[in-house]
């Protein structure tokens, strides 16, 4: 039976496209925002069975909480609108996420350490924003999620971030207001609930930290830190209060993790809140040096050092090319383990003995790489100074037979990383494009060089200087949308230029 809601247009703006999911609280639909030219969004409706005033208030509070938190962190789902349809059913509009829930990812296999560190940090940054609070009646009130679990974490691909983690579903979140009465009953998911949550006690952010500990343990091992004999409240109550988490290696004999990381996870799982990290910020600060040491760049650095150590020191000139040549160093690179295997691209500089090389990392199928081995390369950079200074880095791979392949990355010019990357591009005047196949990601399949026009390099320096001025710290997403729209307007002109300049031998065109 077809869904009668498909095709409906709400408030003369949102057209429902398909049902994405449903639960006891309501339904979520994919939709088009007709006012903004069909931009995809998602709409969440409150279930008709829940149309009590209490549930309406909770639903509206969830929408407000997500709207405010989404402005504070990219790691929390953004809500942009709230309304009531012609039947009196409330709904709210949120960003459309295309990816997978963390629970789907964990079900496939345990997560490797570099990817784990990247995702865990992002999730904790989302919690950090929630626990820091939102303004209610003129006061900042911390938000306790109360239902942190893998199915409430969504992982999607982002042009700038690669894998991006977002915290969802603040339906039972609690705002900690000074004069508000806490709920003295259990709400949450049994397997991830903290001991104090099971008791119906007053909660703070440390309860979410316990749930985060359960989830981190599961991400690494594929198993739960404690298990209940039956899936009942009483059985899980005893498990969270009396059972002690097994060491990580007992749950996954192939797992090797730094002792500092295991200590962090076990401290998050402490029975008493006072024995856990007291804030999500503490977890982020502990993960940061671990990610720097064991993240994706570590393996590349180790392999480069290994090659350089084998290069003999000799005074005799040699015509033999050594592996320290820039392209040979690039060929040693393997796909970062914290990046998904899919058709994505992202900027990532490569350190060499003669300096750091700007590079664009690209993953296609091997068949697509073969089709683009001889192609025209074109690049162009678009800058938007406001409301938040950002840069769109466009690379186009073009052949007459296969058409264009558009590769776009976004750089936040208010960050130190973004400014350093743009300066590096300006100084180098070119960048490498590293191709990896989904079938063999451990090996770089091809390397190309794309030259940047001298006039463009001069503009980089002025853009970095302009980025030093004032900005709106929550408007990076708005600027990215502006740049996306500008690119769509430029695509036909760029395509005409590529078609007119195309040569079968391949060519590098600086925009």
Q: What is the pLDDT of residues 39-54, one digit of tens each?
A: 899 999 988 777 888 8
Average pLDDT over residues 128-142: 84
Q: Which of 31, 25, 98, 87 is nearest to 61 (CA)?
A: 25
Is residue 104 in some structural domain?
yes
Span 259-268, pLDDT tens digits: 999 999 999 9
Looking at the fold, whether 135 and 210 belong to one and the same domain comes out as: yes
431-467 pLDDT, tens digit per residue, is 999 999 999 998 999 999 999 988 888 888 878 877 7
pLDDT band with cut points at 50, 70 and 90 for residue 25 = confident
> How many residues make up the chain in this entry?
511
CATH code for the domain in which residue 208 is found: 1.10.510.10
Band (135; pLDDT cuts 50, 70, 90): confident
Does 124 share its domain with 165?
A: yes
Total number of domains constituting the chain: 3
266 and 121 both lie in a single domain: yes
pLDDT (0 to 100) of residue 30:
93
Q: Quote the CA–CA distance of 225 and 231 in Å, as a whole number.
A: 15
Find the largest Cα–Cα distance for the chain.
86
Specify whether 147 is catalytic: yes
Q: What confidence score (pLDDT) does residue 22 get?
A: 80
Average pLDDT over residues 487-508: 78
Mean pLDDT of 67-77: 85
Same-domain status, 138 and 282: yes
Which of these, 153, 158, 101, lies nearest to 123 by C-alpha position?
153
So what's the pLDDT on residue 203?
87
- As a whole number, the mean pLDDT across the chain is 84
SS (H, E, C) 220-268: HHCCCCCCCCCCCHHHHHHHHHHCCCCCHHHHCCCCCCCHHHHHHHHHH
**b/e per residue 132-159 (b: at least 16 CB within 10 A):** bbbebeeeebebbbbbbbbebbbbbbbb
- Looking up residue 52, the CATH number of its domain turns out to be 3.30.200.20
Better-predicted residue by pLDDT, 333 or 509: 333
Q: Is the confidence at residue 351, as pLDDT, over 80?
A: yes
Of the candidates 33, 81, 87, 147, the residue annotated as catalytic is 147
What average pLDDT does this structure show over 263-285?
94
Residues 277 and 133 occupy one common structural domain: yes
Looking at the fold, whether 413 and 354 belong to one and the same domain comes out as: yes
Give the residue numbers spanning the domain of 108: 99-178+187-294
């Amino acid at each position: 039976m077809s869904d009668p809601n498909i095709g409906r247009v709400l408030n003369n703006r949102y057209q429902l496209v398909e049902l994405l999911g449903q639960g006891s609280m309501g339904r979520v639909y994919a939709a088009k925002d007709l006012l903004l030219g069909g931009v995809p969004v998602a709409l969440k409706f409150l279930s008709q069975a829940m149309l009590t005033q209490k549930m309406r208030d909770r639903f509206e509070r969830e929408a407000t909480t997500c709207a405010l938190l989404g402005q504070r962190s990219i790691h929390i789902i953004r809500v942009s609108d709230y309304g009531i349809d012609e039947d009196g059913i409330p709904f709210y509009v949120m960003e459309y996420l295309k990816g997978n829930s963390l629970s789907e990812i964990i079900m496939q296999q345990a997560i490797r350490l570099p990817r784990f560190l990247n995702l865990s940090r992002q999730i904790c940054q989302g919690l950090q924003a929630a626990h820091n609070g939102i303004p209610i009646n003129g006061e900042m009130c911390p938000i306790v999620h109360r239902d942190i679990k893998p199915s409430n974490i969504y992982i999607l691909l982002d042009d700038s971030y690669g894998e991006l983690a977002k915290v969802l579903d603040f339906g039972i979140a609690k705002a900690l207001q000074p004069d508000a009465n806490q709920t003295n009953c259990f709400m949450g998911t049994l397997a991830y609930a903290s001991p104090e949550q099971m008791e119906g006690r007053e909660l703070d952010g440390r309860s979410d930290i316990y749930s985060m500990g359960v989830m981190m343990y599961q991400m690494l091992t594929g198993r739960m830190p404690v298990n209940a004999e039956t899936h009942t409240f009483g059985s899980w109550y005893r498990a969270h209060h009396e059972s002690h988490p097994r060491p990580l290696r007992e749950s996954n004999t192939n797992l090797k993790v730094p002792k500092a990381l295991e200590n962090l996870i076990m401290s998050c799982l402490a029975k008493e809140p006072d024995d856990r990290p007291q804030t999500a910020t503490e977890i982020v600060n502990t993960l940061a040096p671990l990610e720097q040491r064991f993240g994706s760049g570590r393996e590349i650095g180790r392999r480069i050092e290994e090659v350089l150590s084998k290069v003999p020191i000799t005074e005799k000139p040699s015509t033999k090319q050594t592996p320290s040549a820039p392209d040979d160093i690039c060929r040693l690179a393997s796909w970062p383990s914290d990046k998904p295997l899919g058709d994505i691209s992202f900027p990532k500089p490569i350190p060499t003995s003669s300096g750091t090389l700007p590079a664009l990392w690209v993953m296609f199928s091997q068949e697509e790489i073969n089709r683009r081995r001889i192609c025209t390369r074109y690049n162009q950079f678009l800058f938007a100074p406001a409301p938040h200074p950002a840069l769109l880095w466009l690379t186009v791979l073009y052949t007459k037979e296969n058409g264009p392949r558009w590769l776009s990355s976004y750089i936040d010019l208010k960050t130190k990383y973004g400014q350093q990357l743009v300066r590096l591009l300006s100084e180098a005047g070119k960048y490498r494009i590293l191709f990896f196949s989904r079938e063999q990601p451990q090996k770089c399949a091809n390397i190309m060089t794309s030259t940047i026009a001298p006039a463009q390099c001069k503009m980089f320096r002025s853009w970095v200087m302009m980025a030093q001025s004032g900005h709106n710290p929550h408007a990076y997403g708005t600027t990215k949308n502006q740049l996306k729209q500008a690119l769509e307007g430029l695509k036909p002109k760029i395509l005409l230029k590529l078609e007119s300049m195309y040569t079968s031998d391949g060519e590098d065109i600086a925009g």
